[in-house]
Structure 1
Amino acid sequence: MSVFKVASRYAKSLIDLSNEQNTLDAVKEDMDAIVALIKSNAELQAVLKNPIIKTDKKLGILNALFQGKVNSTILDFFRIMVTKGRADLVFATAQEFIAAYNEVKGIVKAEVTSASPLSEANLESLRATIAQQINKEVLLTNKVDKSLIGGFVVRVGDRQIDTSIDGKLAKLERHFEGLN
């Protein structure tokens, strides 16, 4: 079974457990911090994935990092994973938890790529427009790509809207190639 499927199942279990305990939002906040910490620490990722490092050592590291700092449900859940030999999935499970949380809450991530940074007012206007179109809450991030020249590209899930000058030039080029 793929790492993604296993991590997704663990995340779903944690979502269900958090819902039962009415701690879903608090657990999500802690998971955001955990993902950021593990993502920024390659050594921690390596330790969790290394099968040679003993379980008690991994448990000690997780306790030192998270005890008293995150919801006890998360730490207990991670302890079970590590004890069952699934420490390599802690990071993937945390990421999948956030994705599952967003799905449960009807939150969609979107990205707008533009030639220069968009103002907060423009980002908010675009976020509101996207939210109205898809009838969900939207978390919008702005990425800068100078090669676009002007305009922007919006990605929401697997959909893309390209209003960039670069995109229009490419479309025009394909059109003229089709005439030959």
Structure 2
Amino acid sequence: MSENKAASRYAKSLIDLSNERNALEEIKNDMVLLAQVVDENPELEAILKNPIVPLTKKAGILDNLFVGRVNEVTSAFFKLVVNKGRSAILFDTAKAFIAQYNAIKGIVTANVTSATELTAESRAEIEAIVKKEIGANQVVLNEKVNADLIGGFVLKVGDKQFDASIGSALNKLKKELALGIV
């Protein structure tokens, strides 16, 4: 079984258990914490993926980092995964958990690249459009500024892209002029 499939299955099981224990929000926060800690400390991911590091050492490191900071279900889950020899997929499991949680709650991530910083008004407008078009309950905007766009923005949601940048419009016009379409 591929590691992504295994991580996804572990995440699904943890979501089911979280729902059973009425702790979905808390465990989601724990998975976000794990993902942040691993993002900020790539050495931790290297240790978890290293087959030479003993399982007891991996479990001890996770205990030191997370005991008292996470739900007991999360703590038990970490121990279970490590004892099964699957610590290499913990980070991927956390990401899969967050993705599955977002799908359940109707939370969509939209990436917006604009020529200038978005105003509160344009941010709200983009969120409203994404909610309407995608049918999302909530939109998380990841914003990026790229002056090469000249003006406008590029919006990506999942595998869909909407390009409303002036730079793109100029390039399209340039191609049409070169082909003699206009």
- TM range, smaller chain: over 0.9
Unaligned ranges ≥5, structure 1: none
Q: Which residue of 2 aligns with 1:113?
A: 113
Q: Which residue of 2 aligns with 1:57?
A: 57
CA offsets 1:108-165 (integer angstroms, 9 cap, x no match): 1111100121123321221122112222121112111121111100111111100001
Q: Which residue of 1 aligns with 2:8?
A: 8
**1:179 Cα offset (Å):** 4.1
Q: Which amino acid aligns with 1:32?
A: V
Say yes or no: does 1:154 pair with 2:159.
no
TM-score, reference length from structure 2: 0.93
CA pair 6-177 structure 1, distance change in 2 beyond 3 A: farther
1:67-78 → structure 2 map (5 Å cutoff) = 67-78=67-78
1:1-180 → structure 2 map (5 Å cutoff) = 1-136=1-136, 137-179=138-180
TM-score, reference length from structure 1: 0.94
Q: Tell me, in whole angstroms, the C-alpha distance in 2 between the residues paired with 1:49 and 1:177.
A: 53
The total of aligned residue pairs comes to 180
**1:168 Cα offset (Å):** 1.0
Q: Which amino acid aligns with 1:91?
A: F
**1:69 Cα offset (Å):** 0.3
SS in 2 for 1:155: strand
Q: Tell me, in whole angstroms, the C-alpha distance in 2 between the residues paired with 1:117 and 1:2.
A: 41
**1:175 Cα offset (Å):** 2.6
Unaligned ranges ≥5, structure 2: none
Q: Tell me, in whole angstroms, the C-alpha distance in 2 between the residues paired with 1:44 and 1:87.
A: 11
Instruction: Give the root-mean-square deviation of aligned CA atoms.
Output: 1.4
**1:177 Cα offset (Å):** 4.5
Q: Which amino acid aligns with 1:73?
A: V
